[in-house]
Amino acid sequence: MVELVGYRSVGGVGTLTLDSPHNRNALSAPLQTQLNAGLRAALADPAVRVVVLTGTGPVFCSGADLAEQRAGNALGPELMIDTLTRLWDSPKPVVCRVNGHARAGGLGLVSACDIAVAPDTATFGFAEVRIGALPAMIAVTCLPRLAPRAALELFLTGENVTAARAAEVGLVNRAVPGDALDDEVARYVDMLRRGGPLALAGIKPMIRRIGELPLERALAEMAELSRRRFRSAEVAEGLAAFADKRDPSWVVD
């Protein structure tokens, strides 16, 4: 089997690398199958505290494998659903190191990650409309990141925009010079490794739950959640470490 997704775990960081530069890391069935297997491995490994998703070559991901589509060899949407769900619901923080240009389904991956950093030379575009298709599935992860008018503009026009514009409208967190990309990713990873694992796992469900509730009920539920957390062993360790002027036990060097 040709390896299309690399995986390594070092220092509490599980890194998944799309490695299919011959077709610009397109989301072929074999690549998605390997990506899902890598995500399962990273999420199941207790030594992994943070997941990093990146790619090789000048393109992070060009979207669907159109050669597969034309040949009628593309599988159903289940693989992409699995990929986006694992990224979106990951209890471990996921950082997208956007190594280059991202198009269409590639933007679904970027948006499904918690934090995304891109080089200022990268461009981003929802190309679906230009072949008569819709960015339907990836809209599920992209729309929560995008300002509504920006979403309409980008979906309707198919225009490729700069990394600076992508950061402005919420597709990525930071656009940095190419030679600063690894340092910026490392900065985020270091900050994330300092958070309590259970606290980190609770952040996304907390944010989503608050968005579902009216103010009074949200305040009541979050007060109870706060009380439970302050009674936890993790907070006890965090408070003890603060008093002792040391790192908590979960911090990985």
**Is 198:232 a contact under the CB 8 Å cutoff?**
yes
* Residue appearing with tokens 């069935």: 29
| CA proximity to 189, closest of 244, 139, 115, 129 | 115
Structure token pair of residue 82 = 């699995």
Distance CA 102, CA 61 (A): 5
Is 128 a known active-site residue?
A: yes
Q: Which of 128, 153, 184, 221 is catalytic?
A: 128
| CA proximity to 110, closest of 152, 168, 63 | 63
Distance CA 145, CA 96 (A): 14
116 burial class (0-12, 13-18, 19+ CB within 10 angstroms)? buried
Element (H, E) at 154: helix 148-157
Show which residues are catalytic.
128
